Amino acid sequence: MSEVAFAIPDRYDLGRTIGRLAVIPRDPTVLAGGSEAWWATRTPDGPGTLRLRLSGELTATAYGPGAGWLLERADAVAGLRDDVSGLSSFDHPLIRRLWHTFAGVRLPASGRVFHHIVAAILGQKVTGKEAAHGYRRMLRHFASPVPGPAPDRLMLPPDPADVAATPYWKFHPWGVEQKRADTVRRAAAFAARLETAPDSATATRLMTSLPGVGPWTAAEVVRVAFGDGDAVSVGDYHHKNTVAWALAGEPRGTDERMLDLLEPFRGHRGRVVTLLELAGLGAPRFGPRMPVRSFARF
């Protein structure tokens, strides 16, 4: 066990900040509360668990072979390296108000790519409930001990070598069809290269070179792995409508319209979308919700 402490900004929100590490709902590698949070991952040195406790300052404790690596970037994982300069100067009353309300929510930068790309791929073209269901079942299949005295429900992400060696049909009972299964397996085989990416742009280029990985998936990953506040999830089912409604009063939008409306916030475009999500803002609903399917029964 190793430990280090950090000063925190005013109104720092540990729970919502660490909660951003979850690319899909109910990610079992993340447990985030108001005063304590846990994160389990696979570092270059092996599996590790990070525990963050808030009490005047932020105390980080790490366990396992990856403890040293985790402590070296614990402040980044906790969002304390997040550059929020310029946000208060945006000339838009709604965004200024939302930033004032959620100024304690920072963008984490985990430094891990494969950890998040698995969840992002499983979230492609399905509901959050479907993605969470498949991800949890996948993690149970590849389960290994979580270092340290972590809560029982915390789980490690899978080892990429194990995923790459798993045939696609093994994914079927988890509710994951062949297309997403093959994309996850390709990412696993390419994981060592992905983890060498020094920045968001390089990681995006490497990820989108893989068949089945597009701009939406890449943005979902780099926003968390690198704390990229400008990453916009083009192609998202909801975001284009949320942005059009919140910023222009238009009930429906397109990706092109979304990017046009976000252009004044360049550098923080993805963060603006995050602020709208945190506020619970969404466009009016005119049709049925996206159905929940069961690929395991196909």
Return the bridge partners of 59, or none: 5, 53
Burial code (b: 16+ CB inside 10 Å, e: under 16) for 140-171 equals eeeeeebbbebeeebbbbbbbeebbebebeeb
Q: What is the pLDDT of residue 291?
A: 53
Q: What is the pLDDT of residue 292?
A: 46
Best CA proximity match to 69, nearest among 40, 39, 46, 52? 46
pTM of the model: 0.93
Quick one: which H or E segment has residue 50?
A: strand 46-55
Best CA proximity match to 150, nearest among 237, 31, 287, 10? 31
* Interacting residues of 198 by C-beta distance below 8 A, sequence separation 6+: none
Q: With contact defined as beta carbons under 8 Å apart, do 225 and 204 qualify?
A: no
Return the bridge partners of 55, or none: 57
In degrees, rounded to 5, the angle at the alpha carbon of residue 171 between the alpha carbons of residues 168 and 176 is: 105
Q: What is the pLDDT of residue 285?
A: 80
Q: With contact defined as beta carbons under 8 Å apart, do 86 and 178 qualify?
A: no
CA distance 138 to 223: 23
Q: With contact defined as beta carbons under 8 Å apart, do 219 and 270 qualify?
A: yes
Best CA proximity match to 144, nearest among 47, 261, 68, 240? 47
Q: How far apart are the first and last CA of the chain?
A: 47
Q: What is the pLDDT of residue 45?
A: 98
Give the count of beta carbons closer than 10 Å to the beta carbon of residue 193. Answer: 12
Q: In order of start, what are the domains of the chain with their CATH numbers?
A: 2-83 (3.30.310.20), 114-225 (1.10.340.30)
| Low-confidence spans in the chain with pLDDT less than 50 | 290, 292-293, 295, 297-298
Residue 88, classified by CB atoms within 10 Å of its CB into exposed (0-12), middle (13-18) or buried (19+), is exposed
CA distance 132 to 24: 6
Q: What is the pLDDT of residue 180?
A: 97
